[in-house]
Amino acid sequence: MQKSKITLPERTGLHRHSNKIEKYYRAFGIFLVIMILAGGVAIIYKTQSLNVKSQSNINRAIETENSNSPSSNLNPPVTQVNINTADEKELDTLPGIGPVKAKAILDYRKKNGQFKVKRDIIKVKGIGEKTYEKLADKITVN
């Protein structure tokens, strides 16, 4: 394949400089290609370094979490709360039971005596079917 040359009309007076112009265009083209490639490399490098930093932050967070909590706390034993003997603090740990409902349970227990079955907790004002469903496996009356 034959190399093409830029030819300029003689009347512009630039025909004498056509080789120089061609060299400048070629050098500028090479410069652009290098800058594009360098930019691509820089983007890839930054992305990889961000991924490495993110992964190290994740690993550091996991290590911190593991060092702050003893392994026995990772899977605490599931215990049931006896609604006939629990105080306000214990009742407050149950899902759907806050301080107000815990107080209502204590008041109901004081007025009516102990719960006979777990389902009796529905008789307490503010505790309905949905709350009972959340509590059923977490409470006992024995």
Q: Are the C-beta atoms of 24 and 17 separated by less than 8 Å? A: no
What is the rounded CA–CA span in Å between residue 59 and residue 99?
38
Number of domains in the chain: 2
Predicted pLDDT at 132: 94
The domain boundary residue, chosen from 35, 50, 71: 71
Whether residue 2 lies inside any domain: the answer is no
Whether 129 shows a pLDDT value over 80: the answer reads: yes
Whether residue 47 lies inside any domain: the answer is yes
What is the rounded CA–CA span in Å between residue 92 and residue 80?
13
What pTM value is reported for the model?
Answer: 0.47
Residues 20 and 63 in one domain: yes
Residue range of the domain that includes 134: 81-140
**In this predicted model, what pLDDT tens digit does every residue of 43-78 receive, in sequence order?**
555 555 555 555 666 666 666 655 555 554 444 555
**In this predicted model, what pLDDT tens digit does every residue of 13-25 receive, in sequence order?**
555 666 776 777 7
Residues 6+ apart with CB under 8 A from 14: 8, 21
